[in-house]
Amino acid sequence: MRYTNFGSTGIKISKLGFGGMRFPMREINEKKVIDEDLAVPLLHRAFELGVNYVDSAPYYCESQSEAVIGKALKSYGGRIYVSTKNPVEDADGGNWTGRLEKSLKNLGIEKIDFYHLWGIGYENIKSWTGLEYGPLEAAVKAREQGLIGNLSFSTHDSAENIIKVIDSGYFESVTLQYNLMDRANAPAIAHARKKGLGVVVMGPVGGGRLGEPSEVILNLLAKKPVSTAELALRFVTSNEGVDVALSGMSDMKQVEENAEIVSREGSLTPEELNRIDEMMEENKKLAGLYCTGCDYCMPCPKEINIPMLFGIMNNHRVYGLTNHARNEYRDVVNGWSWVKSADASKCAECGECEAKCPQKLPIISQLKETHTALA
């Protein structure tokens, strides 16, 4: 396993981290539970292969992830660094501390090494500044008391706003999204490195999208990698500002393969990275021909989320990620995803969207094409 200095924390962290949100599940009395007989050995095998960073959150895997990680830690003798998160649900510091104490109990540990304010952005920092005893004050106090080792934040904010949160001076590390298909946070990663923050990347395989074979993506390199997932992991870990790539691993094959990929010496060369950037930008322009995601066509009277469905369609049409696109389309139109849409066949052909589209796209026919390809 390769290791790196984690920001300015003085800690050596494995380049591969274990994300605790995709443990194998089973049903008992119509309730989903983590299959501990499978999950704990997965964690132990990852630890044996050199992974020393494990990440969780209170609501992962039906709110059971922290407890299962705690069991794996208790039965493993090595030093593993633990990361989890505080779902900041209000601005009360006392409530924040209560959630921290619950995570400590779930994990069965006395100190959380990297404790995240979960999914925050710059607006949170602004609204909490100046409170008598808000989340920031509670976090600083918990660090002083030794309940947490390092204060961190995870975010889905814009790169510009992430940089502002970094500059607030409260944090030792950040967890953010970055992958082959979404490189918008590259400036934030570079800024975090400059400021001495450790950087953890969630979704290095694009939330599972890049786990699917894609000739378009494999052809980004002259010497084809074995799999799309391999290229995705190598791309993320080749960024010198990235310390840890988190992978939610649900079977032993994933653990073995990911550990092998990340353990290899040698990153992608600057020439290879430039080629990837250039070709992905070309693909992005091609996707833009079908839809730029400007949202001017919205709202649709039939509650079709046109830009989102076209984005899913581009995963199929531009990147060749067909199975993932079909699964995502199914989840979205059936209400199984946190984002929802009526299916594209519900289009009434009223033409409101086409009248508002600045690109003058044939939206009605593209909706039909989308449903035919993905339904």
What's residue 266's pLDDT?
Answer: 64
User: Is 278:17 a contact under the CB 8 Å cutoff?
Assistant: no
**R_g (Cα) of the chain, nearest Å:** 22
CA distances from 76 to 40, 57, 69, 88 (A): 10, 20, 11, 31
- Which positions ≥6 away from 261 have C-beta within 8 Å? 229, 230, 233, 234
Which residues are 201's β-sheet partners? 176, 245
pLDDT tens-place string over residues 75-86: 898 899 999 999
Q: Where are the beta strands (DSSP E) in 229-330?
A: 244-247
- Region 347-371 average pLDDT: 91
Q: The domain 3-273 belongs to what CATH superfamily?
A: NADP-dependent oxidoreductase domain (3.20.20.100)
Residue 20: in which H helix or E strand, if any?
none
> pTM of the prediction?
0.80
Domain boundaries, the chain: 3-273, 291-374
Structure tokens at 232: 């995705």
What's residue 118's pLDDT?
Answer: 94
The DSSP output letter for 72 is H
Identity at 149, one-letter amino acid code: G
- Region 12-36 average pLDDT: 92
Structure tokens at 240: 């010198």
Question: Beta strands 25-28 and 31-34: pairing type?
Answer: antiparallel
User: Is 229:211 a contact under the CB 8 Å cutoff?
Assistant: yes
What's residue 274's pLDDT?
Answer: 77
pLDDT tens-place string over residues 115-161: 999 999 999 999 998 899 999 999 999 999 999 999 999 999 999 99
What's residue 210's pLDDT?
Answer: 58
For residue 176, which phi and psi values (nearest 5 degrees)?
-145, 175
Give me the torsion for CA of 125, 130, 131, 135, rounded to 10°. 30
Q: Does the pLDDT at position 227 exceed 80?
A: no
In angstroms, the CA 53 to CA 321 distance is 30
In angstroms, the CA 129 to CA 34 distance is 39
Residues of the chain above pLDDT 70, percent = 91
- Region 97-108 average pLDDT: 96
Report the first-to-last Cα separation within the chain, whole angstroms: 42
Structure tokens at 63: 């709110």
pLDDT band at 303 (very low <50, low <70, confident <90, very high): very high
Q: In degrees, to the nearest 5, what angle opens at C-alpha 272 toward C-alphas 270 and 273?
A: 65
For residue 45, which phi and psi values (nearest 5 degrees)?
-65, -40
Q: Does the pLDDT at position 247 exceed 70?
A: yes
Helical spans, DSSP H, in 51-172 = 60-63, 65-74, 93-107, 122-128, 135-145, 159-166
